[in-house]
Structure 1
Amino acid sequence: MDDAAERVIREVVDAGLKVHRALGPGLLEAAYEHCLAYELEARRLTVERQVPLPIVYEGLRLEGAYRLDLLVDRCVIVEVKAVEALSRLHEAQILTYMRLSGHRLGLLMNFNAELLKQGLRRLVL
């Protein structure tokens, strides 16, 4: 892992903590996603929201089949959740997004946790 990617990861986690402290659990995913993107942009990071992720199967390209919640500095995928608890299915989802997109770093952030660290997963391919 290079230093630039580690810096991005730290900034995303720190921004997530700030958003979680301010808003707390109980909102919809879209609210957290929007506020997290705002906070990351304020930190001068490049943030792309709802990035289309096509699926290619035997030459068939399915456009817009999935979307990345956030792509930060073109190196970290952030999947925002507001669920009771993270499951293996949530981890499988972001791992699949990472494989399909070619990005090696991912953060799964569940803002519905009492403490954000309880709903935070870092994934590396």
Structure 2
Amino acid sequence: MSDELTEKIIGAAIEVHRILGPGLLETIYEEALCHELGLRGIHTSRARLIPRCG
């Protein structure tokens, strides 16, 4: 991951937290962060369940 991409991701996370503030459910922050990353041209994929092995 490049430093530039890292800065964009951290900036998006800070912006979401600045606007929404603390205390919300993780799913709300996840939705907002995915939206903010999209606005910044960063393609995202939501959390997914991974099948258990064995």
1:32 is aligned to 2:24: no
In structure 2, distance between residues paired with 1:12 and 1:55: 29
Structure 1 alignment gaps of length 5 or more: 61-125
Bigger share in strand:
1
Summarize the Cα distance change of 1:27–1:47 in structure 2 as closer, same or farther, 3 Å threshold: same
Aligned residue pair count: 53
Other-structure match for 1:52: 49
Other-structure match for 1:94: none
Summarize the Cα distance change of 1:8–1:54 in structure 2 as closer, same or farther, 3 Å threshold: farther
- The AA in structure 2 aligned to 1:31 is I
Other-structure match for 1:82: none
In structure 1, distance between residues paired with 2:36 and 2:29: 10
Structure 2 alignment gaps of length 5 or more: none
- The AA in structure 2 aligned to 1:17 is I
- The AA in structure 2 aligned to 1:11 is K
Q: RMSD of the TM alignment (CA)?
A: 1.3
Q: Which runs of structure 1 show a deviation greater than 6 angstroms over 4 or more consecutive aligned residues? A: none
The alpha-carbon deviation at position 44 of structure 1 amounts to 1.0
Other-structure match for 1:12: 9
Percent of paired sites with the same residue: 36
In structure 1, the residue corresponding to 2:50 is in which secondary structure?
Answer: strand
Using CA pairs under 8 Å that are at least 6 residues apart, name the structure with larger relative contact order, 1 or 2. 2
